[in-house]
Amino acid sequence: MRRVRVRTPEGVHVGEVVESLVVAGDRRIQPLDVDTLELPPPYELLLPVEPPEVWCAGVTYERSRDARIEESGSDVYARVYDAERPELFLKDAGCRRTVGPGGTIGIRGDSEWNVPEPEIGVVLGADGVLAALTIGNDVSSRAIEGANPLYLPQAKVYAGACALGPALHVPDDWDAPLAISMRILGADGKALFAGETSTSRMRRSFGELVEWLLRDNPVPPGSVLLTGTGLVPPDDFTLEPGQRVEIHVPEIGTLANDVALAMDLLERSSAHV
C-alpha cells in the first residue's frame, strides 16, 4: 500500500496509489510520471506527512563510516559505527527546512562540498510505533562536517536541507530489505552520478534506531527518523544549483528534487511572506 497527500480544488486529501492511478477523495488522477507520482494541474502532490520533527541516524552503513573517516581524518565515526549507542541528531522541526516531492532542496553557500544522502525514513505513530516508511534526502555539507564534528548542526540544518516523499509505504514485513538507488542529473539532463545500495547493509535495524531515539526523549507522533545513507558520491563531486537528485525505492516511488542555494530559498520564502 502506498499513501499520498494531494491538494485538489476541494482541499487536501489523503489518497492511495492504486495501480497507475492516484485516488484522492472522489478523484482518480493519472500521474504524469508513475515513479515520481507528479500530478497534472490543478492537482499537487504534497509531503506525504508533515512531521513535527525530523531526526537522523548517522553512520549506519559501512560506506558512510568510511566516507566520514576520509573527509575528517577522525576515528570518531569508526567508534560510533561499532558502538552500542548510535549517532542521532535533530534535522528539522515544524517542517521549516523540509520540502516534499518536486520541491527544491538547498545547499549551503559557505560550503564548497555538498552532497545528497538518500535514506529510508521511518514515520512514527503513537507511542513510537513504526507506522510507515518513506524516502528521505538528508542534504549535507561534507566540508563543514569534515572540518570539525562539532560543526554537525551547521552541516545538516539549514533551508531546504531535507526532502521527504513521494509516498508512505506500510510494509508487511518490516525486516524485508529495500533497494535504494540514486542518480544526480546536471542542468542539461545528463547523469553525473548513479549508484545503488540496500537496507540489508545497515548496521542497525529500524526498530533498534527508533528505540534509541525514544529513550528519555519526547518525540511527537508523526515525526520521521531518517536511518542513514549507504550511497555516497565520489569525493570530487559536489551538488550545484540547477542539478536534480532522484532517489528511487521500488516500494515507495521516486523522490525527485531540484537543487538551489539555501540563501535563494530563504529569499523566495521572504518574498512570499
Q: What is the 3-state secondary structure (H, E, C) of 176-213?
A: CCCEEEEEEECCCCCEEEEEEEEHHHECCCHHHHHHHH
Look at residue 270 in the predicted model and tell me its pLDDT.
77
Q: Could you tell me the pLDDT band of residue 271, with boundaries at 50, 70 and 90? A: confident
Residue 163 has pLDDT above 90, yes or no: yes
What predicted TM-score, i.e. pTM, was given to this entire model?
A: 0.95
pLDDT at 118 over 80: yes
Short-list 212, 10, 230, CA closest to 117: 230
Angle formed at CA 130 by CA 125 and CA 133, multiple of 5 degrees: 100
What pLDDT was estimated at residue 205?
A: 96
Q: Tell me the percentage of the chain whose pLDDT exceeds 70.
A: 97
Read off the pLDDT of residues 26-76 as tens digits, 9 standing for 90 and up. 999 999 999 999 999 999 999 999 999 999 999 999 867 777 767 766 778
pLDDT, tens only, 192-225:
999 999 999 999 999 999 999 999 999 999 999 9
Q: Kindly report the CA angle at 158 between 152 and 160, in degrees rounded to 5?
A: 130
Grade residue 272 by pLDDT with cuts at 50, 70 and 90: low
Instruction: Categorize the per-residue pLDDT at 273 as very low, low, confident or very high, splitting at 50, 70 and 90.
Output: low
Residue of 131, 121, 124, 165 whose CA lies nearest to 253: 165
Which cell goes with 51? 512531521
Burial annotation 61-83 (CB, 10 A radius, 16+ → b, else e): bebbbebbbebbeeeebeebbee
pLDDT tier at 253 (50, 70, 90 boundaries)?
very high
pLDDT greater than 90 at residue 269 = no
Q: Please state, for a pLDDT cut of 90, what percent of the chain lies above it.
A: 88
The predicted pLDDT at position 223 comes to: 98
Are the CB atoms for 170 and 259 separated by under 8 Å? Answer: no
Burial 198-220 (b: 16+ CB within 10 A, else e): ebeebbbebebbbebbeeeeebe
Integer Cα distance of 66 and 171 in angstroms: 30
Q: Is 241 exposed, middle or buried (0-12, 13-18, 19+ CB in 10 A)?
A: middle
Q: Is 195 exposed, middle or buried (0-12, 13-18, 19+ CB in 10 A)?
A: middle
Mean pLDDT, rounded, of the chain = 95
Mean pLDDT of 255-259: 98
Tell me how far apart the alpha carbons of residues 244 and 256 are, in angstroms, rounded to a whole number: 7
- Given a cut of 90, whether residue 238 has pLDDT beyond it is yes
In this predicted model, what pLDDT tens digit does every residue of 1-27 receive, in sequence order?
A: 899 999 999 999 999 999 999 999 999
In the DSSP assignment, the letter for residue 150 is: G
CB 161 within 8 A of CB 154: no
